[in-house]
Amino acid sequence: MRIYQPTLLTFATTVILLCISATAAPGGSRQLLYSRDDPITIPPYLVFENARLERAYVALQAWKRAIISDPWNLTANWFGSRVCDYNGVVCSSSLDDPSIKTVSGVDLNHGDIAGHLPEELGLLTDIALFHVNSNRFCGTLPLGFSQLSLLFELDLSNNRFAGKFPELVIGLPKLKYLDLRYNELEGELPESLFDKDLDALFLNSNRFVSKIPVNMGNSPVSVLVLASNRFEGCIPTSFGKMGKTLNEIILMDNGLQSCLPNDMGLLRNVTVLDVSYNWLVGELPESMGQMEKLEVLNVERNMLSGVIPEELCSLKNLKEFRFGSNYFTGEPSTCCNLESYNSTMNCLKDEKDQRSTMECKLFLSKPVDCDSFKCNPVTACVSPSTPPPQISPSSPSPVASPISPSPSPPARPCPPIYPPPPPPPESSPYAQQPAVEIPRNSPSQSPMN
């Protein structure tokens, strides 16, 4: 009997997975759920097409062992040496040796599977695509993933991953699409994330709490979604630098507290900009009238004021503009011609459903000093003695957004340890498989074709 003990696993001779109950009090109860160090054994009668498929067998068997619930029986046919026939496993010709087939992708989207990701997944060194969205995987991303040097798309969205941002992804040289939304990740974002050559970054609906790193503008992403976390402080002044590549940016439902950067107008290719449900103050920068591609603009539920720039509502692609629940005092007449717009609860004289004169007067009597937020490190050095930001205590609080599409049920801890599942019966019928869905906002290019 062969015993597989890959060297990359030496750092993880004991795999201990802690799943921390999301509902527990801070520092509260932890459960030891899984502890195992016995290697996967390869039955001597199995014959593999090549050594890499044999390694993939080890990875997939270790993963199957780490699964404690598979309601659609997706992994029921994960046995035997024909790993390319396993449900959700994609094989193709190896990039470095086209004469052999290797595992190039895993797609278990919408599997509703519970369990965790074992270290052995690091043996899938030929995968370009790892999609497990909408399952119940918990724990953390194992360090073994740092071996996946061809990984291009990583979609862990809508699971129960917890802990800090998995920094190992920054070292993955080919990674372009990173989707971690709808998990329970917490803490700060590493600055290096925004220096990485990604195309799409989804971090929404986690528990990140930090300032948005000042180098955000270095990121070459076309889509950036940081919504529904607790990001605070400034919208980085480097924002305008993203003009060459950025198409969509969603910062809604956080605790951002600053003015909008003056050079927003450099974001010429942006079609969707949503900064709603924050604590932003000041005026909409005049330069926003140059955002020629803008189709959807949402700034509602902030504390913005001033007059809406004349050119903004004349932008020829603009269809939807929501700016309700702010303190704007004027709008160009062209705004009324937009397909969809919402201006309620402002300080607009000729509109209905506005704030009271008293409320407007009180708020608008306090001047806004954008420099006081010290968003620009240079400004901070030049004027160190600026007064603190003027925030009205009676201002609206950014409550959870009604449009935040939260599908995640309240998080639960992983269930307790189970023994490895018995081998499936020989006649195992093909599992009823949920329709394989493209992840929401899947990138257009895929290395799999």
- Specify which residues 240 forms β-bridges with: none
Quick note: the x/- pattern for ligand NAG over 302-341, rule CB under 6 A, is ----------------------xx----------------
153 touching ligand NAG, by CB under 6 A? no
Q: Which is nearer to ligand NAG, 39 or 80 (CB)?
A: 80
Q: Given candidates 253, 431, 439, 447, which one binds ligand NAG under the rule CB under 6 A?
A: 431
Pair of tokens at residue 292: 């020629």
Question: Rounded to whole angstroms, how far apart are CA atoms 227 and 280?
Answer: 15
| Cβ-closest position to ligand NAG | 324
432 touching ligand NAG, by CB under 6 A? yes
Amino acid identity, position 339: E
Backbone angles phi, psi at 61, to 5 degrees: -70, -40
Question: Is 21 within 8 Å of 411 (Cβ atoms)?
Answer: yes
Q: Which is nearer to ligand NAG, 253 or 300 (CB)?
A: 300
Q: Which is nearer to ligand NAG, 397 or 432 (CB)?
A: 432
Question: Rounded to whole angstroms, how far apart are CA atoms 427 and 441?
Answer: 38
Nearest to 260 by CA among 278, 237, 293, 294: 237
CB of 304 to ligand NAG, least distance (A): 12
DSSP states along 58-72: HHHHHHHHTEEE-TT
CB of 31 to ligand NAG, least distance (A): 27
CB of 400 to ligand NAG, least distance (A): 13
Pair of tokens at residue 419: 């023994």
Backbone angles phi, psi at 312, to 5 degrees: -60, -50
Q: Which is nearer to ligand NAG, 204 or 325 (CB)?
A: 325
163 touching ligand NAG, by CB under 6 A? no
344 touching ligand NAG, by CB under 6 A? yes
Quick note: the x/- pattern for ligand NAG over 254-273, rule CB under 6 A, is --------------xx----
433 touching ligand NAG, by CB under 6 A? no
Question: Rounded to whole angstroms, how far apart are CA atoms 85 and 62?
Answer: 17
Residue 370: CB atoms within 10 A of its CB come to: 21
Question: Is 132 within 8 Å of 111 (Cβ atoms)?
Answer: yes
Q: Which is nearer to ligand NAG, 71 or 173 (CB)?
A: 71
CB of 279 to ligand NAG, least distance (A): 15
Q: Which of residues 224-253 bind ligand NAG (CB under 6 A)?
A: 243-244
Q: Given candidates 107, 300, 346, 414, which one binds ligand NAG under the rule CB under 6 A?
A: 300
Question: Rounded to whole angstroms, how far apart are CA atoms 56 and 45?
Answer: 17
Question: Rounded to whole angstroms, how far apart are CA atoms 384 and 348?
Answer: 35
CB of 53 to ligand NAG, least distance (A): 26
CB of 65 to ligand NAG, least distance (A): 17
Question: Rounded to whole angstroms, how far apart are CA atoms 103 and 81?
Answer: 13
Q: Which of residues 41-100 bind ligand NAG (CB under 6 A)?
A: 72-73
SS3 label, residue 249: strand
CB of 391 to ligand NAG, least distance (A): 19
Pair of tokens at residue 230: 């607790």
Judged by the rule CB under 6 A, the positions of this chain that interact with ligand NAG are 72-73, 243-244, 268-269, 300-301, 324-325, 342, 344, 431-432
